[in-house]
């Protein structure tokens, strides 16, 4: 099995700073370009797990690449080039401090809120009598703040505008773009025999133009159900068959870990790491609809550095 990339520490031409996120390392090049290296780190319950997953970064980067291309007619996006299987180079864009979450189904945190008596989420009223995994008549928008530390918080359109997080004019465009992106993503998913259940979008602004940024429709930012058998499982009150990293969370919970204070992250045996890698490759093939080609990972750090510098030399 190939070595996993769990940390990068490059020094690219005209690099100003670097941000190490839970999964992505983002290099700021002269406030003009961003180099996003999608590592093989994996997080669950807002905790980065101790071992990386080989090829996970490549899977996420290449899915995002496909969907950025497939939606570029809806909204301009930040991507300029993918010089390496694990890297995207794009425009340096000032991000909006909100994430646009679109939900087509009553699942996950929205179901937990509903089950506990909540009938409103981010200013959207929910009717009585809904059941878990039920499809909404129309997709709903449930934005969150982007927290620097801790958890993102749900917020309504009115609060976003009132607090001046985003201007009303820009926010209405974010809503429009998000719903159109979700519609396109749902249509593509259906052709793959999948249901796009919910997802998040992030946007920014550069020179007065709104751009879609970061990743899109990956299994880390989205939840998918299998279309085949969805209605039958609903009618029987059974759990839906999911295509996401939920299986990692389930493995951790089986070992007694939920990311709570004082809990020890369980040891990840090599066999489990390999299984997770294989599952991510399956996710890629199911979502992208083509065969996954493993990149040569024998000298992965040197490969990334060489490919990125070659592209930056063209751009700068």
pLDDT digits (tens, 9 = 90+) for 60-74: 999 999 999 999 999
Domains annotated on the chain, with CATH: 95-243 (3.30.470.20)
Residues 6+ apart with CB under 8 A from 306: none
301, 5 contact by CB (below 8 A): yes
Pairwise CA distance, residues 17 & 12, whole Å: 10
Handedness of CA 75, 79, 82, 88 (dihedral sign): negative
Pairwise CA distance, residues 159 & 138, whole Å: 22
The mean pLDDT value for 205-217 works out to: 97
- Give the pLDDT confidence score for residue 1 in this predicted structure: 54
Pairwise CA distance, residues 107 & 31, whole Å: 39
State how beta strands 79-84 and 87-91 pair: antiparallel
**Residue 158 parent element (H or E):** helix 157-162
- Give the pLDDT confidence score for residue 313 in this predicted structure: 96
61, 300 contact by CB (below 8 A): no
The mean pLDDT value for 127-145 works out to: 96
- Give the pLDDT confidence score for residue 176 in this predicted structure: 98
SS (H, E, C) 181-227: HHHHHHHHHHHCCEEEEEEEEEEEEECCEEEEECCCCCCCCEEEEEC
86, 7 contact by CB (below 8 A): no
- Give the pLDDT confidence score for residue 247 in this predicted structure: 84
Is the predicted pLDDT of residue 151 greater than 80, yes or no? no
- Give the pLDDT confidence score for residue 4 in this predicted structure: 93
Q: From the CB of residue 7, how many other CB atoms can be counted at a distance below 10 Å?
A: 12
Q: What is the pTM of this model?
A: 0.93
Is the predicted pLDDT of residue 240 greater than 90, yes or no? yes
Higher pLDDT, residue 212 or 258 = 212
- Give the pLDDT confidence score for residue 3 in this predicted structure: 81
Pairwise CA distance, residues 168 & 117, whole Å: 31
């Amino acid at each position: 099995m190939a070595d996993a990339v769990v940390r990068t520490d490059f020094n690219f031409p005209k690099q100003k700073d670097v941000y190490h996120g839970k999964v992505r390392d983002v290099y700021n090049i002269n406030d003009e370009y961003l180099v996003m290296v999608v590592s093989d780190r994996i997080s669950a319950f807002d905790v980065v797990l101790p071992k990386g997953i080989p090829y996970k970064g490549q899977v996420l980067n290449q899915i995002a690449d496909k969907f950025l291309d497939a939606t570029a007619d809806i909204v301009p996006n930040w991507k300029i080039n993918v010089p390496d299987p694990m890297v995207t180079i794009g425009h340096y864009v000032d991000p909006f401090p909100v994430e646009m979450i679109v939900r087509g189904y009553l699942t996950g945190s929205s179901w937990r809120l509903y089950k506990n008596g909540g009938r409103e989420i981010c200013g959207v009223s929910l009717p009585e009598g809904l059941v878990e995994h039920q499809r909404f008549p129309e997709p709903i928008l449930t934005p969150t703040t982007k927290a620097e530390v801790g958890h993102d918080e749900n917020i309504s359109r009115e609060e976003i505008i009132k607090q001046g997080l985003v201007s009303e004019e820009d926010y209405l465009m974010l809503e429009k773009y998000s719903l159109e992106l979700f519609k396109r993503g749902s249509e593509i998913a259906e052709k793959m025999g999948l249901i796009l259940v919910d997802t998040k979008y992030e946007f920014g602004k550069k020179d007065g133009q709104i751009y879609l940024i970061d990743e899109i429709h990956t299994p880390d930012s989205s939840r998918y159900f299998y279309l085949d058998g969805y209605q039958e499982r609903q009618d029987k009150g059974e759990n839906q068959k999911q295509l996401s990293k939920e299986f990692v969370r389930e493995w951790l919970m089986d070992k007694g870990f939920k990311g709570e204070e004082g809990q020890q992250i369980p040891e990840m045996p090599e066999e489990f790491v390999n299984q997770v890698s294989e599952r991510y490759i399956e996710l890629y093939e199911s979502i992208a609809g083509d065969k996954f080609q493993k990149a040569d990972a024998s000298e992965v750090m040197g490969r990334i550095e060489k490919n990125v510098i070659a592209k930056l030399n063209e751009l700068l």
